[in-house]
Amino acid sequence: MTSHQQLVLSAMAFRGRDFEASLDAARASGFDAVGISIAHCVSCLERGMTPQEMAKAVRERGLEVANLELIRLGDGGPLRHLNEILTELVTVFEPDRIHVAAFAGTLDQVTAEFVQLCEAVPTTSLAVEFMPYSVINTFDAALSMVRAAGTDNAKIVLDIIHFVRSGGRMEQLTPDTLAHVADVQISDLLPRARIETSIESRHLRTFPGDGTLPIAEFLSTIRTNTDQPLPVTVEAISDATEQLPVDWVVERSIQTMTRLLDDTGWLDAQLTR
Write down how long the chain is.
Answer: 273
Parse the chain into domains and list their residue ranges.
7-263
* Mean predicted lDDT score pLDDT of the chain: 94
Q: Determine contact, residues 114/101, Cβ cutoff 8 Å.
A: no
Q: Determine contact, residues 245/29, Cβ cutoff 8 Å.
A: no
Q: Is 125 helix (H, G, I), strand (E, B) or coil?
A: strand
Alpha helices in the chain (DSSP H): 19-29, 38-46, 51-60, 80-88, 90-93, 107-120, 139-149, 160-165, 175-178, 197-203, 215-224, 246-263
pLDDT digits (tens, 9 = 90+) for 224-244: 999 988 999 999 999 999 999
Q: At what angle do helices 38-46 and 19-29 cross, to 10 degrees?
A: 120
Superfamily of 7-263 according to CATH: Divalent-metal-dependent TIM barrel enzymes (3.20.20.150)
**Taking the complete model, does pTM exceed 0.85, yes or no?**
yes
| CB within 8 Å of 44: residues ≥ 6 apart | 19, 50, 51, 53, 54
Q: How confident is the model at residue 4 (pLDDT cuts 50, 70, 90)?
A: low
CA distance 155 to 228: 16
Q: Letter for the amino acid at 7?
A: L
At residue 268, the pLDDT reads 64
Q: Is 121 helix (H, G, I), strand (E, B) or coil?
A: coil
pLDDT digits (tens, 9 = 90+) for 54-84: 999 999 999 999 999 999 999 888 888 899 9
